Amino acid sequence: MRGAKIIVVFIYILFLMLPIYWLLNMSFKTTNEILGGFSWYPQQFTLDSYITIFTDPTWYSGYINSISYVLMNTVISVSLALPAAYAFSRYRFMGDKHLFFWLLSNRMAPPAVFVLPFVELYSAMNLFDTTLAVALAHCLFNVPLAVWILEGFMSGVPREVDETAYIDGYSFPHFFVKIFMPLIAAGIGVTAFFCFMFSWVEMLLAKNLTSVAAKPIVAVMTRTASTAGYELGLLAAAGALTLIPGVIVIWFVRKHIAKGFALGRV
């Protein structure tokens, strides 16, 4: 029984790792070797693809642009969602349930629906082709998600904590920053992780809201793939590098990740 369980988990993880291994394998090969035929590991090991990416500004600026809008979006989403989640978690007010569903419904809106109007909207605001435009556009799905997760974590904190603090003479902002936020620190971390994740992986909006100056790495990859023929080695290396931020943030929240995926509701 125990052995069977280990085998199930092992096979599943193996299945997850194989395509990733294949990507890494390709990234250390020359394009000629890739197109030359099938091989389990690089015969002529090379770092050329990685060197190209780190020395060519059109490549590495893509990473800088992506990271900057992802960070901006994470900060905006979490800081706006914190007070809102507190309101939903602690009080009843007119239209609260409808409002909550309306917020969530934006997480359900297919980005494809919003591509064209977003381009018009952000052009009208003179923000087209800036990282700020992408950061704000990603708020469409990240803010509702952040409210949802934070509300779950906040509802796990007994209301007596708030009441005692108010009796002790704390003002709301003082109480919120000094007492309440440390209590849900894990929840804030998990929320930031999710905002980071969904902003990092999204491509459709990020690609269409930028053209030259703020081009994200995901767009650099697709355009390079279509214009310069198939530089498979380069493409694989660029893809492999996009794994790194994910690995870093996931390592930080590994202890809370299971609870976070349940949106704080376990």
Partner 1 sequence: MTVKPVNQKAWLLVLPVLLIVALNAIIPLMTVVNYSLQDTFSPGVFFYEGTKWYQDVLSSPRFHGALGRQFLFTGIILLIEIPLGVAVALAMPRKGPWVSVCLVLMALPLLIPWNVVGAMWNIFALPDIGLLGYGLNWLGFDYNYTQQPFAAWFTVVLMDVWHWTSLVVLLAYAGLSSIPDAYYQAAKIDGASAFAVFRYIQLPKMKRVLIIALLLRFMDSFMIYTEPFVLTGGGPGNSTTFLSIDLVKAAIGEFNLGIAAAMSILYFLMTLLVCWVFYTAMMRGDES
Please give the residues from 94 up to 153 whose contact with partner 1 meets the rule CB under 8 A: 94, 96, 99, 101, 103-118, 120-121, 136-137, 139-140, 143-144, 147
Segment 38-67, which members bind partner 1 (CB under 8 A)?
38
- Give the orientation angle of helix 57-90 with respect to helix 96-107, to 10 degrees: 160
Task: Work out how close the CB of 37 gets to partner 1 at its nearest, in angstroms, rounded to a whole number.
Answer: 7
The smaller minimum CB distance to partner 1, of residues 4 and 167, is found at 4
Chosen residue from 67, 181, 183, 204 binding partner 1 by CB under 8 A:
204
Asked if 178 interacts with partner 1 (CB under 8 A), we say no
* Measured distance CA(20)–CA(13) in Å, rounded: 11
Closest CA to 85 of 191, 182, 169, 170: 191
- If one asks whether residue 12 binds partner 1 (CB under 8 A), the answer comes out as yes
State the helix-helix crossing angle for 2-27 and 232-241, rounded to 10 degrees: 130
CB 111 within 8 A of CB 201: no
Distance (Å, whole) CA 208 – CA 198: 17
Q: Which stretch binds partner 1 (CB under 8 A): 8-16, 43-51, 57-65, 183-191?
A: 8-16
Q: Does 71 sit near partner 1 (CB under 8 A)?
A: no
Piece in contact with partner 1 (CB under 8 A), picked from 43-51, 55-63, 180-188, 251-259: 251-259
Beta-carbon contacts of residue 249 (< 8 Å; ≥ 6 apart): 193, 196, 197
Position 87 contacts partner 1 (CB under 8 A): yes
Q: Closest approach of Cβ 213 to partner 1, in Å?
A: 20
Distance of closest approach, residue 117 Cβ to partner 1, in angstroms:
3
Helices (H), 176-231: 181-183, 185-201, 204-208, 217-227
Instruction: Report whether 236 contacts 27 (CB < 8 A).
Output: yes
CA distance 8 to 97: 42
| Residue 8 interacting with partner 1 (CB under 8 A) | yes
214 binds partner 1 (CB under 8 A): no
Binding-site member from 188, 197, 210, 213 for partner 1 (CB under 8 A): 197
